[in-house]
Structure 1
């Protein structure tokens, strides 16, 4: 279980991050957040879906990395099997947290992360107490992600207001002829997208949202790679096919 605390030199001056072990932090993440600005890159590796975050108050883009909680088939023997690494994984074991809408965000460190070391890896601070180039780079990535998350949340709500999301179920068809249904996902409603007015399409194109939407639509073909990776890792639960079923609202 994670235990995040505010990163500061008085407490963490001696810590290092073992980057060689960082992939193990990905292994239990079957759904990975993707920001809108990285959807084009992510769509080349993962099937992308729209989902609601835990509090059900805002929308998010999720890369499906496994077919059961706690399973990430893109990690094999601690090797990352995708070309692209999403921002939310690049920044681990750090997160950036904003106490409220008026305060500046602060960097938090998972004090229980297995990649922390006192003897090897990338140091966080110089002997002067100043952050190292490594930590400065992570902090920049965190700031970029916070900005991308805020932009994604705003744009996805606008897309929801345009009724561009349709609920989907994934029906997993196993080789032993059993089935399993995965619910709670949404896709892009292609018909609704094509029905938008010229002005609406132009507005989406102006901020590169339109390209991201078409890449999310096309990412469905990455389900084939998901099946291949799943079957290679979990031969006893091999899958023949995955069907997408639209759910009537």
Structure 2
């Protein structure tokens, strides 16, 4: 259970954050939420798919790291073996919260990344923000703004019935069977059948590029399967 607190330089003056990667720091996760402004970077390394939100009422795009819960095929000891680290992973243990129109940085004090002896200092000795905190504050703001783009993209996908569920069955080199289910992707046939007006509207709204980034990312399933085979070897 997270222990979320508003970050301040009095109670948290000695806090440090461990930036190493690894399962013991919470990186053993199957997926992380992403957003349209990040799709270009994410699609270079990971499949982008859509999953139902926890309330079951909508969808959210995620970068996929494995085929089942608590599997991250990009973890190699204390190294994340990919050229790009998704923002929702990089920002941990920080979160952004609001009070009216003001956005403020929060921290999960129970995160295994939080320490008073190891890692990057959050505050300077005399109370000012460290460069590390400033970088993470900028990262949180980029995430906040990026997530605000997602509802419009999802509304457009649902309007044109472009989301479809899929099941991926994988037989590994050792003969074991693996199935990925419960996710959605872009229906390419319906996308190709859209009329010129609908395509132009998607383009004007900036959604068309995001859609094609999602489709381009699906080639990374082959790389994910290769990683799965290597892990089983």
TM more than 0.5:
yes
| Deviation (angstroms), 1:114 | 2.3
1:233 aligned onto 2:205: no
1:198 to 172, 196, 199: 196
Aligned position for 2:84: 84
What is the alpha-carbon distance in structure 1 between the residues aligned to residue 223 and residue 193 of structure 2? Answer: 31
Question: In the alignment, is the contact (CA less than 8 A) between 2:21 and 2:80 conserved in 1?
Answer: no
Deviation digits for residues 194-229 of structure 1, max 9, x if unmatched?
Answer: 222223222322343212211211222111110111
What is the alpha-carbon distance in structure 1 between the residues aligned to residue 108 and residue 185 of structure 2? Answer: 33
The worse-fitting range, judged by mean Cα deviation, of 30-39 and 191-200 is 191-200
Aligned position for 1:218: 216
| Deviation (angstroms), 1:178 | 4.8
Deviation digits for residues 57-111 of structure 1, max 9, x if unmatched?
Answer: 2321112101111110011112111111111012111111347xx5534322121
Correspondence 1:135-154 to 2 at 5 A: 135-154=133-152
Aligned position for 2:54: 54
Aligned position for 2:63: 63
2:102 to 76, 100, 104: 104
Alpha-carbon RMSD across the aligned residues, in angstroms, is: 2.0
1:73 aligned onto 2:73: yes
1:171 aligned onto 2:198: no
* TM-score normalised per structure 2: 0.90
* TM-score normalised per structure 1: 0.84
What is the alpha-carbon distance in structure 2 between the residues aligned to residue 172 and residue 5 of structure 1? Answer: 42
Question: In the alignment, is the contact (CA less than 8 A) between 2:2 and 2:108 conserved in 1?
Answer: yes
List runs of 5+ in structure 1 lacking aligned partners.
Answer: 236-249
1:12 aligned onto 2:9: no
What is the alpha-carbon distance in structure 1 between the residues aligned to residue 81 and residue 9 of structure 2? Answer: 35
Aligned position for 1:158: 156
Aligned position for 2:113: 115
What is the alpha-carbon distance in structure 2 between the residues aligned to residue 52 and residue 67 of structure 1? Answer: 16
The worse-fitting range, judged by mean Cα deviation, of 90-99 and 68-77 is 90-99
What is the alpha-carbon distance in structure 2 between the residues aligned to residue 87 and residue 208 of structure 1? Answer: 21
- SS of 1:148's partner is helix
What is the alpha-carbon distance in structure 2 between the residues aligned to residue 215 and residue 64 of structure 1? Answer: 14
| Deviation (angstroms), 1:167 | 0.9
List runs of 5+ in structure 2 lacking aligned partners.
Answer: none
- SS of 1:10's partner is coil
Question: In the alignment, is the contact (CA less than 8 A) between 2:168 and 2:179 conserved in 1?
Answer: yes
